[in-house]
Amino acid sequence: MTFYTYQYLQGSQSKWQYGRIIVLSVLAIIFIGFLIHYLRNRMDMKYKDLTIIVGTLLLLILAVQYDDFSAIQSASQQTGQITQTVKQVAKRLDLRPGVVSINSTTQNANLMVKTPDGYYRVDYNADGTQFVLEKVELAATNHIKVQGVE
């Protein structure tokens, strides 16, 4: 069973988004550079071809980015919800969020929480607005891995 720390959940929210923004920015700068070179030297066809290639690549990546936007937004929202759950669990147990780990990166029905005091099961009500913590004993703790340990 894998548990994820609060720091890991916060850090994983924006890594892909920043990477995509960087790639798009670099491609846009390259496209503008080739376009300027082509406009200055209209007789040199290599800049025209390079401008068309980079422009097509830029449009393709923008289309994929637009297509993935809703998926990224949904995943980011779910990760935000799970970090809020970790904060609430830590508050109820009078702990820092940094010492609490959770076994999922998305909100689901089978959440387990690992704390220095032991393991807890998070049991949500029917509409998912409130939860109860139930202390549990795990039979096999030798297969537990914690992602995001410093």
Query: Are the C-beta atoms of residues 86 and 102 closer than 8 Å to each other?
Result: yes
Highest-pLDDT range among 36-40, 69-73, 108-112? 36-40
For 10-65, the pLDDT digits (tens) are 776 556 667 777 888 888 898 888 888 888 887 778 878 888 888 898 888 888 77
Q: For residue 87, give its domain range.
A: 2-147
Confidence of residue 130 (pLDDT cuts 50, 70, 90): confident
Q: Binning pLDDT at 50, 70 and 90, where does residue 9 land?
A: confident
Q: What average pLDDT does this structure show over 78-86? A: 76
Percent of the chain past pLDDT 90, that is, above it, reads: 1
CA–CA distances in Å: residue 137 to residues 10, 54, 118, 129:
28, 57, 8, 25
Q: Rounded to whole angstroms, how far apart are CA atoms 148 and 101?
A: 9
If one counts the domains in the chain, the total is 1
